[in-house]
Copies of this chain bind each other. A is one copy, B any other.
C-alpha cells in the first residue's frame, strides 16, 4: 500500500525504542507534512548529535565542548570521594534532577542477565576498575543499578569484583515508593521496607 520510500522509513522508525509499525507510519506522515526547512533542521540535529556530542573519557556521559571530560567530571566542586555507578545516561539524568547527589558518576553501559554471563563483556568493567584504581580519593561506591532481576544480578556481580578495592559499597534505599500502599506492595518490597526501617 505504501511506496518503497515510505516503507523504508517506516522500517527504520520501527527500530526506535517503543515504536511499532503503526506509530512509525504516523511519524512518516508527520514528516511528509513538514516543510523542507523543518526536515533540514531535523537532519542537522541528528547529524549534530554524532558530530558534536562526545562521550566523556572518564564517566562515559555524553557531553559537548572542548576537552575529553564532561561538565560533571571537570567540576572540581563535585565530591570526589563518592562514585555512583548507573546503568545508562538516562539514569544519570534522573539522579542529577534530584539535586541530591554531588559526587561522580560512572555509566556501566547496561546490565548482566543472571543467565547470560557473556553479557559481562558488554559492560565497562575494565574501565570501572581502572577509574577506581586511578582515583584514590573515592571512599564510597554507590551501586545505583535498577532493582530489576537483571539489575540485581549486576549488583551482585559488581559487589564481588569491587570487594578487593576495600571501599564502602552502598546500594540505593529499598522499600515503599512515595504514594505506595502496603496492600499493593509485593512481598519482597514489604520485606525490604521492614528490614530497612529507621
Residues of chain A having any CB pair with chain B under 8 Å: 1-6, 8-9, 12, 15-18, 22-23, 25-32, 36, 39, 41-43, 45-50, 52-53, 62-65, 86-98, 100-101, 142, 144, 146-149, 170-183, 185-198
CB of A112, distance to nearest CB on chain B (Å):
16
The answer to whether B25 and A12 have CB atoms under 8 Å apart is: no
Bound Cα distance from A65 to B8, whole angstroms: 15
Give the CA-CA distance A182 to B172 in the complex, in Å: 10
Beyond A1-B93, A90-B182, A174-B177, 13 extra complex contacts between A and B, CB < 8 Å: A3-B53, A5-B45, A5-B48, A16-B26, A32-B53, A149-B179, A170-B197, A172-B175, A172-B197, A173-B198, A174-B193, A176-B177, A177-B186
- Asked whether A197 lies within 8 Å of B142 as measured between CB atoms, the reply is yes
> With A and B bound together, what is the CA distance between A96 and B9 in angstroms?
20
Say yes or no: B43 contacts A46, CB within 8 Å. yes
Copies of this protein in the complex:
4
- Contacting pair A190 B32 (CB below 8 A): no
Known: A100-B195, A173-B176. A9 touches B48 (CB 8 A): yes
Complex contact B17–A27 (CB within 8 A): yes
Complex-state Cα separation, A44 to B95, whole angstroms: 36
Inter-chain contacts of A2 with B (CB < 8 A): 62, 93
